[in-house]
Amino acid sequence: MTHQPDPSHVNQSQSEHAHRPPSFWRSRAGIYLIVALAVGGLLLGYEHRVHILSSGLLIWLPLLLCVGMHFFMHGGHGGHGGHGKGDDQ
């Protein structure tokens, strides 16, 4: 027994989605901001490379990258999908 969505509800949600303004990060100003922050970060890293490489903290970078990738790729807690959902209904 499957539940079919109400067609009027589907059309309403599609029309609401069509009128939503675009995200800031996909706008021209958002893209410019991302590029400016990336270039600024690269220049800052280049100018301070001696301090960064000789600090001894560089060894922790792979661990931080793994944690960061896990967090952003799964979208935080609850993003693993399928956990706790029983298929034996």
Question: Which tens digits make up the pLDDT trace of 11-62?
Answer: 555 555 567 888 998 899 999 999 999 999 999 989 998 887 888 877 888 8
Above 80 in pLDDT, residue 68?
A: yes
11 in a structural domain: no
16 in a structural domain: no
31 in a structural domain: yes
Q: In which domain, by residue range, is 49 found? A: 22-74
Number of domains into which the chain is organized: 1
Q: Which of 68, 70, 69, 65 is nearest to 80 (CA)?
A: 70
65 in a structural domain: yes
14 in a structural domain: no
Cα 39 to Cα 31: distance, rounded to the nearest angstrom: 12
DSSP letter assigned to residue 54: T
34 in a structural domain: yes
Cα 39 to Cα 52: distance, rounded to the nearest angstrom: 17
59 in a structural domain: yes
18: tokens are: 């069509």
Band (pLDDT 50/70/90 cuts) for residue 5 is low
69 in a structural domain: yes
